[in-house]
Amino acid sequence: MGFPQIRMRRLRSRVALRQMVQETRLSPTDFVMPLFVCPGQDVRREISSMPEQYQWSVDRIAEKAQEIAEVGVPAVLLFGIPESKDALGTRAYAEDAVVCRTVEKIKTRCPSLIVITDVCLCEYTDHGHCGVIKTDPSGRPYVDNDATLELLAREALAYARAGADIVAPSDMMDGRVGVIRKQLDENGFHHVAIMAYSAKYASAFYGPFREAADSAPQFGDRTQYQMDPPNLREALREIALDIEEGADIVMVKPALAYLDVIRAASDRFDIPLAAYQVSGEYAMVKAAAARGWLDEKRVGLEILTAIRRAGAKIIITYWAEKATEWLNTNSG
């Protein structure tokens, strides 16, 4: 039976009908809000390439986290900018590290908020790479995978001791999930979950983040350890290995240009799947909206819906707070 008996437009004629048959629904409970914490006092510094996003000092970030929780966003993801940097990123895993102090303040002020901590060395090393730098016989520098694992495990343990609910290794070193899981378990942190950046691509969409986190590499790039954008099957192997090593949540990053990877991972694996809508995805929409070329709210919700429709249950997005307000307004 075809037209005119079948008319697909019948269920599109009114808002209530469209909502009744909606196949994919966004909820504030899907969102995680990234936050950047920096040294100093009373700092709220806007990130020039990411309008309406800020670097916060430790004394102010807990207040912001409480605002996020009160809007209805259930979780934050913390990135730290240290007071000083060195070759081994020692300020990443010091007991008084900026992220550790932030976790303690947030958990004291709003204990119900889920606190996730990014685990990587790039923000903390003076060379800007995600691990320990060695030199091969030809004099070429490279990131030593195995030498980096112990430092990542120490960083994750420091955050767990501070009260983090979830640690999120983003470095893309082979084997790091297993090493971190072992370190946490041996120290009594069986309850702390691991959200692995399992399929993290060497993407051009990260540019604004490197300003936000002061983490640009001082030489070369990160293609030695981050994934090659053309590869999908490799992403599925990476995810499978992280699950085998003990990841509780796996992630695809970035989101918008990798919706096919999100869908393939969602179809393949029976485990919570996150996607990171990264800084460049956010910044390009903000730039177009500022020029009147796009409607930020409509485009933002459309992109977030696409990520959800592709199969991501957890969406890390700089729109988390604003998108929650948009959804609440729409439902009202």
Which residues neighbour 73 within 8 Å (Cβ) at sequence distance 6 or greater? 28, 31, 32, 33, 320, 321, 324
Question: How far is the C-alpha of 205 from the C-alpha of 198, rounded, in Å?
Answer: 17
Q: Which amino acid is at 151?
A: L
Cβ neighbours for 68, distance < 8 A, ≥ 6 positions apart:
33, 76, 113, 320, 321
Q: Which residue has the tokens 């809508």?
A: 277
The dihedrals phi and psi of 78, each to the nearest 5 degrees, come to: -100, 135
Nearest alpha carbon to residue 312 among 27, 35, 75, 118 = 27
- In whole angstroms, what is the distance from residue 64 CA to residue 232 CA? 37
Centroid of chain to Cα 153: 19
- Cβ(76)–Cβ(32) below 8 Å: yes
- Matching residue, tokens 């696409």: 306
Strand pairing report for 314-317 and 31-38: parallel
Site of tokens 């399992």: 198
Strands 166-169 and 141-144: unpaired
Instruction: State the Cα–Cα distance between residues 310 and 313, nearest whole angstrom.
Output: 9
Instruction: Give me the active site residues, please.
Output: 200, 253
